[in-house]
């Protein structure tokens, strides 16, 4: 679970318990940011391996190692497929506080592949997630931050995993992976909410995302950033439901700069302590430095329902986002994940992500992109701390200016070690 998803869950549980030279400058900035975040990753990893003695801290390691196969690893057009098979290791450890009011955690993670017959496709990827959350009877505040350095096969062809929380669009990928490259992504998202009265709520949020690539390929992979800020005023319709009016402003930097501003009306409700639902509708005016301005509809509807044996996450979004191709697009996105416990030892899962990108500028040469990834699999609990997991993954993509679509099939079989599950 990402820090943004954890922050969203904490906010939800709190309401339920209540009853409610530009390029040169950018490259220098990205280099400084990369050095700082690499130090953060190493520091987090060092902290994670130190024995935790204080009673109010906990350590949660997770290691998955196994075999990965793909018949079209870089999702090339028919006739250009690259087939890979080999080992993969994915290891992470979360160090966090145990406190009912204040929560801090940091999770360094590393993922590495070894493909004996395609050594050029090997990659070692690094991640750090961090979260700080604090609450009082009237105030909730927090900040989530993350950094990743990974091969573009993973960054530009995202899987069906839920990386961000409910109502938050996944952004940035453009689907261009035929050229070998690596991407650094930094994201920080502060949040502040205050109860003006028993029925009235004030909300302030912001999010900054910055992506930089080792190499720039015009029209495929270039640096981009997004800064979004919002202010909202909410009215509690009932102890579990909130109606919120929100003003939003955005700043995009890709191959050109654009500003966006607009408003949203959102209704959200806590179905139970672990289940929630929301609806959102609004509009945004996007004004580029050069070219025509555009007005777009933004919307979202979805929910996260958790029962004794099932968890369903469903989110449908329409948003305005930058992508690595250097364009700003209207993105339609569906995120789905269903987990079902067949028994105490066997669990079944299915997940999917579907999206369509349309450039907001009619004069743009960026084609319409359609993308789908889906997976299904099962987990067999061998022991309270050990499990075997097997998944099948399908990926499909089509650009409107290409003669054919591309697809791939993949399998990942792994052994997972989670010692904290034994407690």
Give the C-alpha separation, 40 to 128, whole Å. Answer: 8
Give the C-alpha separation, 234 to 47, whole Å. Answer: 40
What would the mean pLDDT of 180-198 be, rounded to a whole number? 96
Both tokens of 262, joined, read: 């607009």
Q: What is the model's pLDDT at position 37? A: 47
Q: What is the model's pLDDT at position 16? A: 45
Q: What is the model's pLDDT at position 6? A: 52
Task: Give per-residue pLDDT as tens, 222-236.
Answer: 999 999 999 999 999
What's the CATH code, domain 3-422? 2.40.160
Give the C-alpha separation, 307 to 9, whole Å. Answer: 15
Residue with tokens 């084609």: 367
- Partners of 397 in the beta sheet? 371, 406
Q: Look at residue 362 and tell me whether its pLDDT is greater than 80.
A: no
Q: What is the model's pLDDT at position 31? A: 52
Q: What is the model's pLDDT at position 165? A: 84
**Whole-number Cα distances in Å, 48 to 70, 118, 161, 420:** 33, 33, 24, 14
Q: What is the model's pLDDT at position 89? A: 97
Q: Look at residue 185 and tell me whether its pLDDT is greater than 70.
A: yes
Both tokens of 392, joined, read: 């099948």
- Partners of 203 in the beta sheet? 193, 232
- Partners of 196 in the beta sheet? none
Task: Give per-residue pLDDT as tens, 311-336.
Answer: 999 999 999 999 999 999 999 999 99
**Do residues 255 and 286 make contact, with C-beta atoms less than 8 angstroms apart?**
no
What would the mean pLDDT of 287-307 be, rounded to a whole number? 92
Q: What is the model's pLDDT at position 415? A: 97
**Domain spans of the chain?**
3-422
Q: Look at residue 346 and tell me whether its pLDDT is greater than 90.
A: yes
Label residue 44 by pLDDT band (50, 70, 90).
very low
pTM, two decimal places = 0.85
Reduce the DSSP state of residue 219 to 3 states and report it. Answer: coil
Task: Give per-residue pLDDT as tens, 90-127.
Answer: 999 999 988 878 899 999 999 999 999 999 999 999 99
Give the C-alpha separation, 318 to 334, whole Å. Answer: 9
Q: What is the model's pLDDT at position 47? A: 40
Both tokens of 26, joined, read: 């950018």
């Amino acid at each position: 679970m990402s820090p943004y998803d954890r922050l969203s869950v904490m906010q939800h549980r709190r309401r339920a318990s209540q009853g409610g030279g530009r390029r040169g400058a950018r490259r220098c900035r990205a280099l400084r940011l990369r050095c700082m975040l690499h130090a953060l990753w190493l520091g987090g990893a060092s902290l994670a391996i130190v024995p935790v003695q204080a009673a109010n801290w906990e350590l949660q390691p997770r290691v998955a190692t196994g075999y990965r196969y793909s018949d079209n690893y870089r999702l090339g057009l028919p006739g250009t497929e690259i087939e890979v098979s080999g080992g993969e290791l994915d290891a992470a450890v979360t160090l966090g506080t145990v406190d009912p009011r204040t929560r801090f955690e940091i999770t360094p993670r590393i993922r590495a592949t070894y493909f004996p017959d395609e050594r050029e496709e090997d990659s070692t990827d690094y991640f750090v997630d961090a979260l700080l959350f604090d609450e009082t009877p009237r105030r909730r505040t927090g900040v989530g931050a993350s950094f990743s350095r990974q091969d573009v096969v993973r960054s530009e062809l995202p899987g069906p995993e839920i990386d961000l929380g409910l109502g938050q669009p996944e952004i940035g990928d453009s689907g261009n992976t035929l050229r070998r490259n690596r991407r650094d992504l930094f994201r920080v998202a502060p949040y502040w909410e205050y109860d003006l009265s028993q029925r009235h709520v004030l909300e302030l949020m912001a999010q900054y995302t910055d992506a930089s690539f080792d190499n720039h390929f015009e029209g495929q992979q270039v640096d981009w950033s997004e800064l979004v800020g919002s202010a909202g005023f909410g009215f509690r319709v009932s102890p579990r439901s909130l109606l919120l009016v929100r003003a939003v402003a955005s700043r995009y930097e890709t191959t050109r700069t654009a500003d966006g501003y607009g408003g949203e009306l959102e209704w959200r409700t806590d179905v139970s302590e672990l289940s929630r639902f929301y609806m959102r509708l609004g509009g945004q005016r996007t004004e580029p430095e050069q070219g025509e301005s555009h007005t777009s509809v933004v919307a979202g509807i979805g929910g996260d329902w958790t029962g004794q044996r099932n968890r369903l996450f469903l989110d449908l979004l329409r948003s305005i986002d930058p992508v690595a191709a250097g364009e700003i697009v209207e993105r339609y996105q569906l995120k789905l994940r269903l987990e079902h416990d067949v028994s105490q030892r066997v669990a079944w899962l299915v997940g999917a992500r579907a999206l369509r990108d349309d450039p907001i500028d009619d004069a743009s040469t960026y084609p319409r992109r359609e993308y789908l990834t889906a997976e299904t699999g099962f987990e067999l609990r061998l022991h309270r701390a050990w499990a075997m997991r097997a998944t099948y993954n399908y990926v499909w993509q089509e650009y409107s200016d290409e003669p054919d679509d591309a697809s791939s099939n993949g399998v990942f079989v792994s052994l997972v070690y989670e010692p904290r599950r034994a407690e």
